[in-house]
């Protein structure tokens, strides 16, 4: 028999409101639709009433998981308009925070995915490691989320020898656990049964729809803004874009495990080669001239774009935010088709959605 089964917009398995409508024949999903727009907060409109420092604080609240990515992107756009050159040490500190945030985000997603699979022991191991990352972020910035590490012209907080030592010790612990997680996930039968061949997004469909970030790289599409269009100081680090070819939920798990390894490599390089000098351009409030700039940033979920338009006054003329979930959400109906209803929640979660980001 044919059924229409709604998932959301308010559902115990989904912390953020999204509505997926499944068209089924028995247990098989024949087609699906995704509806968004339940979490609109008017942040882009508010940006037109705020000065540049206030906006920097506000855009961190677009998302609680990738808050640094939003502040990083906005600051880069404003700095480009004002022709401000960020000190190299400040750039390195921004990258260190960005990669710690990527680790935090991926461990968060891995824990949620393992919980949805029913592997709660691995879920607890994953989130135990996430706590260690968040403790370091708190030591570095003073906050576990919304770090406030970025200012117009550089970074707000520095890393001394003690903090560097603590970060490296945490990375040693995380690296060992990440390799153990990788070995278990690659061999565990429960993980294989729930993820292999589930939620297929072919390379062709990924390119056609325009997927970004780990979602695209898990479909064997080697795109990564850090490699394709290096910003800040990413061109000074040796790392690889993590790509896996199986195009299913399993591939999305593996890609994030591999990306953790690359983030650890970047942070170690940044700490060992941390330049001397200033971390920002001082406390001066800069006059931002009229202009416009669009920047791209590789957030944990994929390419994040900020277009900032200034009119020469104290406030923004326009701040347009284009987030990775907006690009990845259209892949969900394609991935759902042909799968069972029982796998729908895991498939939707496999894009690592942030509907708070998307609806703003």
E strands, 175-242, are: none
**How confident is the model over 151-177, as pLDDT tens digits?**
999 999 999 999 999 999 999 999 998
Query: Are 15 and 103 in the same domain?
Result: no
pLDDT at 298: 95
Sign of CA dihedral 61, 66, 67, 72: negative
Query: Are 71 and 6 in the same domain?
Result: no
User: What is the count of structural domains for the chain?
Assistant: 2
Q: Is residue 322, in this structure, part of any structural domain at all? A: yes
Provide the token pair at 326.
């907006």
pLDDT at 164: 93
pLDDT at 240: 92
Q: Is residue 130, in this structure, part of any structural domain at all? A: yes
How far from 129 is each of 136, 160, 260, 313, 323, CA to CA, in Å?
11, 23, 12, 45, 27
- Closest to 73 in 3D by CA, of 223, 232, 182: 232
Average pLDDT, stretch 54-79? 92
Provide the token pair at 35.
């509806």
pLDDT at 41: 82
Query: Are 157 and 256 in the same domain?
Result: yes
Which pLDDT band holds residue 34 (cuts at 50, 70, 90)? confident
Q: State the burial class of residue 287 (Cβ atoms within 10 Å of its Cβ: 0-12, 13-18, 19+).
A: exposed
Query: Are 176 and 264 in the same domain?
Result: yes
Average pLDDT, stretch 99-122? 89
Query: Are 233 and 99 in the same domain?
Result: yes
Domain enclosing residue 288, as ranges: 42-351
Query: Are 11 and 65 in the same domain?
Result: no
Output the average pLDDT for the chain: 90
Domain of 192: which CATH number?
A: 1.10.645.10
350 or 14, which is more confident:
350
- Closest to 85 in 3D by CA, of 269, 318, 278, 303: 278
SS3 187: helix
pLDDT at residue 18 greater than cutoff 90 = no
Q: Is residue 97, in this structure, part of any structural domain at all? A: yes
Q: Is residue 359, in this structure, part of any structural domain at all? A: no
Buried/exposed 330-353: b ≥16 CB within 10 Å, e otherwise: ebbbbbbeebebebbbbbbbbbbb
pLDDT at residue 3 greater than cutoff 90 = no
- Closest to 151 in 3D by CA, of 50, 233, 68, 46: 68
Q: Is residue 360, in this structure, part of any structural domain at all? A: no
DSSP track, 282-325: -S--PPPPSEEEEEEEEETTEEEEEEEEE-SSSBEEEEEEE-HH
Query: Are 318 and 281 in the same domain?
Result: yes
Q: Is residue 251, in this structure, part of any structural domain at all? A: yes
Query: Are 28 and 70 in the same domain?
Result: no
Which pLDDT band holds residue 60 (cuts at 50, 70, 90)? very high
pLDDT at 68: 93
pLDDT at residue 107 greater than cutoff 90 = yes
Q: Is residue 356, in this structure, part of any structural domain at all? A: no
Query: Are 3 and 53 in the same domain?
Result: no
pLDDT at 341: 87
Q: In what order do the strands lie in the sheet with 2-7?
A: 2-7, 19-25, 28-35
C-alpha 6: how far from its chain's center?
Answer: 27
Which pLDDT band holds residue 63 (cuts at 50, 70, 90)? confident
Q: Is residue 111, in this structure, part of any structural domain at all? A: yes
pLDDT at residue 11 greater than cutoff 80 = no
Tokens 């030591």: give the residue: 139
Between β-strands 2-7 and 316-322, what pairing exists: parallel, antiparallel or unpaired?
unpaired
pLDDT at residue 117 greater than cutoff 90 = no
Q: Which residues are registered as beta bridge partners of 14?
A: 11
Buried/exposed 288-311: b ≥16 CB within 10 Å, e otherwise: beebebebbbbbbbbbbbbebbbe
SS3 84: coil
pLDDT at 1: 67
Average pLDDT, stretch 197-225? 94
Which pLDDT band holds residue 14 (cuts at 50, 70, 90)? low
Query: Are 35 and 159 in the same domain?
Result: no
pLDDT at residue 79 greater than cutoff 90 = yes
CA 137/CA 123 separation, integer angstroms: 21
Q: Which residues are registered as beta bridge partners of 321?
A: 306
Query: Are 116 and 74 in the same domain?
Result: yes
Query: Are 20 and 125 in the same domain?
Result: no
């Amino acid at each position: 028999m044919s059924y229409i089964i709604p998932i959301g917009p308010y559902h115990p398995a989904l912390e953020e409101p999204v509505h997926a409508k499944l068209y089924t024949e028995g247990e098989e999903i024949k087609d699906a639709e995704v509806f968004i727009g339940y979490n609109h907060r008017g942040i882009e409109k508010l940006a037109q009433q705020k000065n540049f420092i206030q906006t920097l604080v506000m855009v961190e609240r677009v998302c609680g998981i990738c808050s640094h990515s939003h502040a990083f992107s906005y600051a880069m756009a404003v700095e480009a308009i004002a022709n401000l050159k960020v000190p190299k040490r400040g750039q390195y500190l921004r990258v260190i925070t960005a990669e710690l945030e990527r680790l935090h985000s991926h461990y968060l997603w891995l824990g949620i995915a393992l919980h949805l699979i029913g592997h709660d022991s691995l879920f607890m191991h994953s989130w135990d490691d996430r706590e260690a990352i968040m403790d370091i972020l708190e030591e570095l910035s003073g906050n576990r989320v919304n770090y406030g590490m970025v200012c117009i012209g550089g970074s707000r907080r520095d890393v001394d020898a003690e903090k560097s030592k603590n970060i490296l010790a945490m990375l040693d612990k995380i690296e060992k656990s990440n390799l153990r997680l990788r070995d278990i996930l690659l061999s565990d039968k429960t993980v294989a049964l729930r993820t292999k061949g589930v939620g297929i997004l072919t390379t062709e469909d990924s390119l056609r729809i325009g997927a970004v970030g780990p979602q695209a790289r898990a479909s064997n599409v080697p795109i990564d803004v850090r490699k394709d269009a290096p910003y800040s100081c990413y061109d000074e680090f040796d790392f690889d874009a993590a790509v896996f070819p199986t195009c299913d939920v399993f591939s999305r798990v593996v890609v994030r495990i591999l990306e953790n390894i690359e983030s650890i490599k970047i942070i170690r390089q940044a700490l060992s080669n941390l330049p001397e000098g200033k971390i920002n351009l001082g406390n001066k409030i800069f006059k931002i001239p009229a202009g416009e700039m669009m920047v791209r940033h590789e957030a944990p979920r994929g390419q994040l774009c900020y277009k900032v338009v200034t009119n020469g006054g104290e406030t923004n003329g326009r701040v347009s935010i284009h987030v990775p979930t907006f690009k990845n959400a259209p892949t969900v109906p394609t991935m759902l088709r042909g799968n069972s209803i029982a796998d729908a929640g895991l498939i939707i979660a496999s894009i690592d959605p942030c509907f708070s980001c998307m609806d703003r």
